[in-house]
Amino acid sequence: MNLTFLKLHRSLLFILATMLICVLTLTLSYGHYKGHNNIDWFDVAGEGGITIMTLLWIFFILLSRPKGRVTNLLFAGLAIMNLSMTLDFIDEFVNYDKNQAWLSTIESIPAPFGMILMSIALYHWHQEQMSINLQLRNRERFYREHQLSDAISGLASADYMKSQINRELNLLHHNLHGFSLLMFDIAQFDRFNRQFGDAEGDKLLQEFAQVITLNVREQDLVCRYASDCFIVMLPNTKLAVAEQLSLSIVAALEAFSFNSSDSTLTYKQKVHASLVSATTTDSTSGLLSKLHQGLLKNKHLHEYSDEQTA
């Protein structure tokens, strides 16, 4: 479990711990134990469960989110709701004297305020998510499932791309222009890895993913298909437009200068590319195999022209 975000929220965790300690100190010092026979264990299980669940939600929110207004609002809403629930839970075990009966009376007051804050937080979360969705549109298309994205590049995975190719093949007769697939492969990536190390190789993959994403259109889908190989799906696209896009992505990738982490190295990579346009007789595996064959041809062409210039 990655705790990086949780460590950013030490102050919020401190506030939560202080709040819970104050509530426990106040209620346990003023309350008198009801006695085993007067406790309704069904209520204890229900209210205890709700209290623990809200703490768990707070934990996962702090674990998953960076600092910011939405995180603060979500935390405040849930923490205030948790205050009501904790008071309600402790109420199952203790009675208060008349003078301290207010402790029992106020238990339900924080919850609605917490819910109002949570509603405001969810509205802002929605706004935030809309802008994140815009940034992710070439990586997700219609579906979000973290197991279908590639951990290194953040792009869609090969499995997700295959499912989307399948989908487009089923819709092929509804689209005017059909769809095309582009494949890009970094030349001599193995040599790059051996020369500069795997961590720099990962960084190059991430940066290539960003360059490709920046150079496609809103409706296109980009995936990291295998080690140094990327596929872009161009739905409802004429072949001539696909060819133009392929050329401009190759140009952008080859113009891109990689800077090593310690800034001692600037490096430009050559790229192999291939393109296929889908027809109604194609299958997903058939299209992928055509893409591979096109890529191999392109590699041999590059090798041949390199030999000629050498």
Nearest residue to ligand GTP on Cβ basis: 201
The residue among 205 and 242 lying less far from ligand GTP, judged by its C-beta, is 205
Specify the residue for token string 């075990």.
Answer: 93
Alpha-carbon span 267 to 186, nearest angstrom: 13
198 binds ligand GTP (CB under 6 A): yes
The closest alpha carbon to 294, from 159, 191, 184, 212, belongs to 184
DSSP 8-state symbol, 267: E
Contact residue for ligand GTP among 91, 185, 220, 282 (CB under 6 A): 185
The closest alpha carbon to 155, from 229, 98, 56, belongs to 229
Residue range at the interface with ligand GTP (CB under 6 A); choices 58-66, 136-144, 195-203, 273-281: 195-203
267 binds ligand GTP (CB under 6 A): no
Q: Residue 1 Cβ, how far from ligand GTP at the closest point, in Å?
A: 22
The residue among 128 and 207 lying less far from ligand GTP, judged by its C-beta, is 207
Contact residue for ligand GTP among 140, 159, 202, 207 (CB under 6 A): 202
Q: Residue 61 Cβ, how far from ligand GTP at the closest point, in Å?
A: 30
231 binds ligand GTP (CB under 6 A): no
**Residue 147 token pair:** 């197991």
Alpha-carbon span 50 to 293, nearest angstrom: 58
303 binds ligand GTP (CB under 6 A): no
Contact 51, 93 (CB under 8 A): no
193 binds ligand GTP (CB under 6 A): yes
Degrees, nearest 5: CA angle 196-201-202: 140
The residue among 103 and 182 lying less far from ligand GTP, judged by its C-beta, is 182
Residues between 91 and 130 that touch ligand GTP (CB under 6 A): none
Contact 238, 179 (CB under 8 A): no
The residue among 62 and 223 lying less far from ligand GTP, judged by its C-beta, is 223
DSSP 8-state symbol, 156: B
Give Dmax over CA atoms of the chain in angstroms: 98
**Beta partners for residue 156, in sequence order:** 149, 223
Residues between 271 and 300 that touch ligand GTP (CB under 6 A): 299
Residue ranges binding ligand GTP (CB under 6 A): 152, 185-191, 193, 198, 201-202, 205, 227-228, 299
